[in-house]
Structure formats: C-alpha cells, structure tokens
Amino acid sequence: MRAAVDSPSLACAIVVTFNPDLPELTRLLEQLDRNGCDFLVIDNASSNATAIAEVAQRQPRNRAVLALERNIGQAAALNAGLARAQDMGYPMAFLFDQDSGIDDDFCQRMLAAWQLAVTGSDRPVAAIGPRLIGPETGRRIPFRTFDSAFDRREHALPGSTGLIRTGFLITSGCLVSMSALKAVGPMREDYFIDNVDLEWCFRALDRGYLLYGTDQARLHHRIGLVSDRLLVRKGLVVEHGALRYYYSTRNRLHLHRQAHAPAAWVLKDRVRFVLKTLYLLATSAQRHDYWSSLRRALRDARQLP
C-alpha cells in the first residue's frame, strides 16, 4: 500500500523498468521521493519483478506499480504509464529510464524552467529536458537543433537563464505536458525501444510545438555501453549490442522517410549511420551479429507503416 502523502505533486514520474539493477533503481526512486515527486513504475516483465515492486512500495511517493505480463517495449510501457497518470489527474509527467540519477531539487528546478519556457515562448511548449551529464566522464551533452545540417550552436531563449531551444530530447528526465501529449499523440509503439523519443519530438515540432533544454537541472545518464574504445570514450560513437543496433537501425531508416523528420537531421543522420556501421563492422568482435542485424533492419524498415 502507498503511504499517505500530505500533498500531491504537480507532475507524476513514469519509470519504465526491465531487469534493472536494483541499487540503481532504488537510488532513483529515493531521489524522486526526496524531490516530493509522485511516481509510477511500469515494469516490462522483468525477472526480478517482485523485488522491483518491493523497492517501489517502500517509497511514500509511490502511486502504483504496473507489472506487465510480457515485455511490450519502452514506447508502449511509457504510453501505459502516461495514460494512468492522466487518469489520476496529473497535468504533467516526468519520463525516466531505470538507470538515471537526479539531484534532490531536480523536479523543482525542471518545473521552474517549464514556467520560464511557457512564459517566454510565442508558441506552445511540448516538453523540456535537463542538461545531460555522462556519469563516467562528466561530459555535458549539447542540445541540438536541426534547422541546418551544419549549425552546431546552442540556441538560447532570448532573455532567459539557461533555456535552450532544441530539436530533440531524450526520454529520461523529460518533462511532458499532458495537453501537448493529447495533441501530438502517444509514443510510437511499433518502434519498441530506440528512436521513440526522437520520432515523438519531430512530431511535436511538426505540429507547431517547441522543445527546450535547460541548464537549471542536470540528469546523470549513460547512453550506450561502457567501452574503452577511443571513439566511444570521446562521445563520438554510441555503442549498443547487436539487438539494440537492429532496433536503432530499423527505426532510423523508417524515420528518414517520414514527412515530419527534419531534412537537415535526415542528411546528417544518414552520414552518421553509414560511418558508425562501417566502424562497427570493421572493429567489433561481434561484427557478424551486427551484419545480421543490419540485414534484418534493412528488410523490416520497409514493412513498418
């Protein structure tokens, strides 16, 4: 049972789990509790589902644990959590992966940044994301727009402190407006896991919404596998296993053909995809698995509607 909480939070956090490291998940849920942020846990049929429920239910801000009978993917799990939060009456939602870390004032800072964004913008705001920090390197990941294939500057909102207009936000740490979600639509479930956030962001921009990043809140989050290879350590290549490479490749090839995908992003991503694939096939010990995933992805990308 959920312990009594004096006051509900403005936004509910949706935490999607799949076979999580329990100490990492415990830290995140404790951090959300210290933030005064209600949360839902949506578990994708983890092998340690019972332990996940026990960890969540120890936190006063836990609203519910939804244990799914099968792994329906990140996108569908997010949609299930968002629908539940909307039914509970929350006007906003934080989205989290199971392995992210936040500060004790993260939610307060994000909500304050949201107010600045909606006050200073002449168009509706769909979502805002924190500054992403690599946990091993401390590297600050830049916010990018896709107005031009060659523009790598960050575009600050005039007159604001630490607000940056962006063309894309990763799922974890993102603060989403439920009204925007209703207008833009849910996450694309047939993408399953990779590029789900990218596709939704492009759809939001295409419908006239804005996306912002903020330096007022930080998210400690690892993207890809840890590797001692130089290009990975420098942040020039994000490396995943062969199965994740399949989903990433299939979905990005499909997204390249969508009308709401910015032309500048498509151009840059095609070049990046070719270079990354050549790098993996030339250097990885699992090159045969990557080759098999590539062939499957090329075939299956044409079958997505």
How confident is residue 1, by pLDDT bands cut at 50, 70 and 90? very low
Task: Confirm whether pTM is higher than 0.75.
Answer: yes
pLDDT at 161: 77
Segment 150-185, tens digit of pLDDT: 888 898 988 777 899 999 999 999 999 999 999 999
Query: What does the alpha-carbon distance between residue 251 and residue 256 come to, in Å, rounded to a whole number?
Result: 9
How confident is residue 227, by pLDDT bands cut at 50, 70 and 90? low
Q: Which residue has the tokens 């968002």?
A: 82
Q: Is the dihedral of CA 129, 34, 225, 77 positive or negative?
A: negative
- Domains in the chain, start-ordered, CATH in brackets? 11-220 (3.90.550.10), 230-301 (no CATH)
Mean pLDDT score across all residues of the chain:
91
Query: What does the alpha-carbon distance between residue 152 and residue 150 come to, in Å, rounded to a whole number?
Result: 6
CB contact set of 245 (below 8 Å; sequence gap of 6+): 280, 290, 293, 294, 297
Segment 56-67, tens digit of pLDDT: 999 999 999 999
